Amino acid sequence: MTLEDQTQLEQSKQLRRDFVSNVSHELKTPLTSILGFLESIQTVARNDEEAKSRFLQIMTDEAKRMSRLVNDLLSLNRVENEESITPTDEVDLISIINETIENTEPVYSKSNNFLTFSHPNQPIVVKGSRDQLQQVVTNLLENAVKYGGPNKEVKIELTGPAHFAVLGRVGVTLDVIDQGKGIAREHIPRLTERFYRVDSHRSREVGGTGLGLSIVKHIINRHDGRLRIKSVEGEGSTFSVFLPLD
């Protein structure tokens, strides 16, 4: 008699089924909306210029939503394919964060948020992919602005070098801190799952695809780092990235 544990195989199959189902659902909703408005423009609203203009704007928004989803899916696929390849380039985190803040200025200025960035006086050099680390900072910063709410401060704090138990060696910590509504404790362990949303309506309203934190997690894993999330309802959230220096 031969016994074989196929738990991991079944879990893997279930993950693939769930992934296909989620992607199909995320694409079907905007596609259904676009097709519905196209039919309206061709029929009942054919001669209604005001309605046509409103419908076209909605269709544009839905098309942009699909474009963001496809881009994030492609990005997630690239990150997963490279996850086992340890980066060897030396990059300065302070330079990366400053560049990201400059690039995302239109995002936070539009909602009247203001950013503060505190960091050590000397350069903080780690081995990593500049583009991927910039993507981590961009995703965390945009999330802090979107879900933290307008007219509020977003703090970015880079600390270290120091020995961190979570890494088991010397490293640095990047904290992105918002002043939003906070996240209930039961949601925190699942935030990095693909398509997991605390508030689906709010996420779609601000343009979220449900893949941003999953991409962040895989990039950090590739850099031998750790992601920690702390949140207090009514006070805000802190997303902490621990990265080794050696």
The domain defined by 7-82 carries CATH number 3.30.70.640: no
For the entire predicted model, the pTM comes to 0.80
Model pLDDT, residue 7:
80
Helices (H), 121-208: 130-148, 200-205
CA distance 242 to 114: 24
pLDDT of residue 114: 87
Peptide bond into 150 cis (omega under 30): no
Alpha carbon dihedral 235, 217, 22, 68, in 10-degree steps, equals 80
Report the CATH fold assignment for 90-244: Heat Shock Protein 90 (3.30.565)
Give CA–CA dist 181/183, Å, rounded: 7
With vertex at residue 70, the alpha carbon angle to CA 64 and CA 73, rounded to the nearest 5 degrees, is: 140
Per-residue pLDDT tens digits for 38-62: 888 888 888 888 888 888 988 998 8
Residue stretches of the chain with pLDDT short of 50: none
According to CATH, where is 1.10.287.130 located in the chain?
7-82
Q: Note the pLDDT of residue 74.
A: 85
In angstroms, what CA-CA distances link 61 with 33, 74, 108, 151, 205?
10, 20, 20, 24, 10
Q: Where in the chain is the domain with CATH 3.30.565.10?
A: 90-244
Distance CA 220, CA 83 (A): 9
| pLDDT tens digit sequence for 181-211 | 888 888 998 888 888 877 765 555 665 678 8
* Amino acid 156: pLDDT: 95
DSSP 3-state assignment of 149?
Answer: coil
